Structure formats: structure tokens, C-alpha cells
Structure 1
Amino acid sequence: MAADATSAVTPPPAPAGICAGRVVIVTGAGRGLGRAHARAYAAEGAKVVVNDLGVGPDGSGESDGPGEPGGPAHAVAEEIRAAGGEAVAHGGDIATPEGAASLVRAALDTYGRLDTLVNNAGFLRDRMLVNLDEDDWDAVMRVHLKGHFLPLKHASGHWRAEAKAGRVPHACVVNTSSGAGLQGSVGQGNYSAAKAGILGLTLVAAAELAAYGVRVNAIAPTARTRMTERTFADTMAVPEPCAFDAMAPGNVSPLVVWLGSTASAGVTGRVFEAEAGRITVMEGWRPGPTADKGVRWTPSEAGEAARGLLADAEPPRPVYGAR
């Protein structure tokens, strides 16, 4: 019997998942957390722009040009396509205006839209403060802070134009901070300062971009990556087969995928810690004990008042690595 003509042209079913049909950019997606995020988004039906410059853990080494095959961005994009998903590689430097602009264009030119931006790219140059060179300070600030700001700026420009044209998007940004940004880390003054700056940027962006249909949140993840090999050396062992791998990067990705989907509607300006099977909403700086004299204090009076307030205040969380 001849095949039914109607059934012969029936399109394949739309991809399932909470991000079906969405277009997602993930920076620093060639390895570690970024790779896990990109693959997890694709598994939930998203079309993914995989960005990675292809440099070493300290930012050194040769980079992969935007059109050069064989680098980590291309490898991850190929992994996604081999699994039946859709992905395109981008090897540009997102800490430059040109690279960030081309990243957004890659999404729009390839897929015709952009729904979610995951800012994840970064590297380390650890030194104690007295040994920290200005170049190491500037390089870490550049990749983390400028590498968050510029993609956010260019993506937001597109979303603002869409909103002004009457097409208010359901857009999401997920920024990547760190426990070092929340409480500091010995030997990582540059990294801690950059990651704390990302938290401030997240709060401002959430407030400024809400009118354009853009939500902005941040995560502070803990997982096994090239960047954490020395920091968590004692807890990095891969577990026995069938045991839960608490340090696997993929443990963080479900929250990141949810934050980048329409399912997280109404959630913005928030910071989450994510590690193993644990998710924590961080509550940030809030007023604690206070005293108001009503007029100017003398130094002695101010000190006495501060001592009294500190006695009633919650102690700060210890800095990572402090003794």
C-alpha cells in the first residue's frame, strides 16, 4: 500500500523540555561548568551558542578564532549536535566590544532570536596581595567584570529594541559569581573583588532592565573545574561508579537552566549558591543592629557604640582559607 501523502510530510515533533524553542548563549562553555550548562540547555530543547576563547586556566595560550574549528567551543557544539540538539560555536573574546557584539549577532544571525544569556567565562591568577601584580589584577577584572558587562550590554540593547517595537521579550540573564565574591578567599583578592562586583552588577541590571522584560540573577557555584583544582584539592576525587559525584559541574546546571527558562518567571535580582544537591538563596547585605544618637558622635562615643552593636550582631562567615 502506498504511504499516506499527509503522513509523509508530517513535521517531526517539537523538542521537549522547559527551554524548547529558546536560544541561549553560554560564555566560557568549552569546559567545566559552561560545557555542562550548554549541554543541559540543549537537553531541554534550547538552541545554544557555545562561546569559548580556548585559553588556559590563567587566560594564557592561543585562542580559537571565531571561525576556527577544533577548539573547545567547536567540540562542545559538535557534542550537542551529535546528541540531536542544535548549537553553533563562537570563539571570540567577549571582553571586547567587538567580540561581545559578534556573540549576540551569532545568535540572531543563526537562529533569529536571543532569549537567555549565561555569563560564565573566567579564569584565575591567584597571588597573595603583597605578590599580586597589576597585570594579574587587570586580567582577572577584565575577563570577569568586563566579560560580564559587555555581553550583557549588547544583549540588553537588542532586548530593549524588541520591547520598544512592541515585542517585549521573556529574556533571562544568569551571571556567575562565587563563594569568593560572597565572603572572600585568601590568595584570591583579584578574583574575590571581581566576583563581588558581579553581584553588584546583577542587582543593578535586574532593576534597570525589568521594564524591557529582562530578568537577571546570579549563581555562586561550587564544582570540579580547571579553576578549582587547587582550591578544593582535598575534595576533588571522583567517586566510585554509581555513587553521587557531589563535585560534578552538571549538578549546578539544572538551576541555571531553570533560571534561563520561562518557568522562573518573576524571579530576578536574586543570588543562589549551588553545590552538589544543595541550593541556597543568599540574602545579601541587610541592616543589622543600629544605634542613632541624633547628632554627631565623638570618636570615643562612636567606638563605644560600634562595640555594643558588634556584640549583638551575627559574626561574619569566615574567609575561605583563613586560619
Structure 2
Amino acid sequence: MKKTILALAVPALLAAGAANASISLYEEDGTKVELKGAVEVQYRLSGAEDAFGDNNNASGASTNDGQLRVDDGDLAIRITHSEDGENYAFGAIELRIGEDKRSNSVTNAAGDEIGTLDVNASGSGVGDVTNDGLYVGLGGNWGEVSFGRQAALIDDTGVSTEYELKDEAGVDFEDTDFDQLIKYKFNGEGYWFGASYNISQDGDNGASSEELFELAAGVNIIDSLELRGFYGDLDNASQRTGTNGNNVSEDATGWDVELAYTEGPFYVGMLYGNFENTDAVNGVTSDRDTFELAGSYTVGKGKFGAGFAIDEDDKANRDATSYYVNYGYNILENCKVYTEIGFEDVEANNGAGDWDGVGYVAGIELKF
């Protein structure tokens, strides 16, 4: 009689080595069930919290004291089945546990947005369990296609080495998680490419939900240097409401080009991109150019990192720069402690929205 997944799960969890990227719960007759997750807790003060403290218009924001918070609580199960060893079917369930990633805008006396603060920065999450991934797909030597609730390709953008403190500048697509996403990706020898589309639905009021089209690709110019690029176009007619009560279509378009160099203990990454927001009433509301440079150096079980990001948005009359420096150390194979200091500098609204702040974070993360 074959063992059940439940019967195998407990001893697999106990016997799994710390070096495993995931835990194999069951593997027999071409079927494999894997479990993986992460837990991360921080003591943190952001640059915006340092700058504004209690003097802000963001409901629920913290004081300018550091707070202990849950930054990451993830659990995922992936099932793969193959009969010929080449083509396969797969499915995944991904849960986010006890996190609160929402933020509110900080505004000046004129009502202009000049920064952001966590809604629940003073606590460690709401304790909710949220399903942020539920998808199925098919794969083989021709690539992989998946359907359902999942992260878009643009979720992988970025070259930075920061842990937490790069809030006001840098790559920022409007949304990266979708419920009706069809995604294709192919990994070749020294290159990869992909595309996805999120299906839009018309509601009773005639407004369409999120519609996304994206492309992404990467190629190894040399063994240590990868060139990659991302493009995304998001249209959401239900995003905003006009003065007459009708929904106003809002479009967000973004792209970036990245270079990443990795050689032994050295890493250097650089990117340039543009992100534009447009709505049917006000036209182009933001047209932001972004530049990032980051690097790291690994010594034994420790890694030093540093970088900065610059945003220039003439349309929104807002420029921002984020700097950070950090150090992380693997006390165990899959358990890391880290600390980071960051500096935010924002110039907005012809001086009315200027501010700067210093943030710090110390955290511990466990993955399996």
C-alpha cells in the first residue's frame, strides 16, 4: 500500500536539511509535492517615519520610534506530475501569513502627496492568511505556461541589494499580482524570454478590471554579465472615479533595461527605466525616469551591500533619491540576520514637499 502525503509530510519536515531550497513531502510515480516558506521579523524605522513622526496625514502611521514588525510570512505548496520525464503538469498554492503591506500617502498643507507611510507600521501585521497565488500550468522543453492567480514577470524587475529601506525611489510598477493571468516563460541556454496577459472583465457599471500586457527577456552577454529588459502596460478602468460618478480609465506603462554582473564574491547591478501614469481626465499625471546602481561583496558567510536609486518626475514635480548600506550574515545555512541604514531625500512641489529622513532596520529571516 502506498504511503499518503500526510504520512510522509512529518518525517520529511524533520529530516530535511537546512540547505534545501524546499522540502520534498512526496515523490513517487512521477508525482512530486514540495513545500517551501519564509519567516522574517524586523525592528525598523523608515526614512518617512523619521521625517514625519506623528506630524502627518497618514491614518494609522507610527510615531518616529522603531517598531517590531512582521515583514514576511510565506508558505507555498507546489505539485508536479510527469509521465514521460519531459512534459509535466504543475499547480501551486501560495499563502501570505500575518503581513500588512498597505501604505497611505503623506500630504502637505496643500494636499500634495510627498511621501508614504505603512498603515500598520506600529504593529506586526493583522494576522490574516491571504491566498496570493493559486495557479496551474503545463511545462516541458518548450517552456512553461501557467494560468490563474500569480505574480507577473515584472515582479522580477530590479537590481538593488537593499533589504528594506529604498522606499521613495527606484523601480515601481503599478501592480505585479493578478488573478486572471496567463503567463509563458522559456529558459534557454544563456537566455530567457516571456510574456503574459491578464484578462479584463467588464463589471455591471461598464468599467473594466485590470488588463495587463507584458514582455520580458534576458541574455548572457558573457558568462558573468546578463542584459535583461521588462515592459508592462496596465489599464484599469475601475481604478478611479470621476466627478460625475463614472469610472475613469487609468493607464500605467513602464519599462526598464538592466545589467547585472556577477563574478565570484562580486555583484554589480545597474538599470534605467521610465514609468508613466495617465488617466482620462488629467492626462499624463506622472512621467518618471529611474536610475539605480547597486553592488555587494561576499566574505565567507557575510555579505556587504550598498546602492542608490534616483527618480526624476518633471510632470509630477517630484524628484527623489534613496541611499542604503547594509550587511547580512548567515548564522545557519537558511537563517540570516541583517542590518541596514537608509537615507531618503525628496524634493517636491517647488519646495513645499521637500523632506529627508534616515531609516534603520535589523532583522532575521528563515527560509526552507
* TM-score > 0.5 by shorter chain: no
What's the TM-score, normalizing by structure 2? 0.27
What's the TM-score, normalizing by structure 1? 0.29
User: Which structure has the highest strand share of the two?
Assistant: 2
User: Which structure has the highest helix share of the two?
Assistant: 1
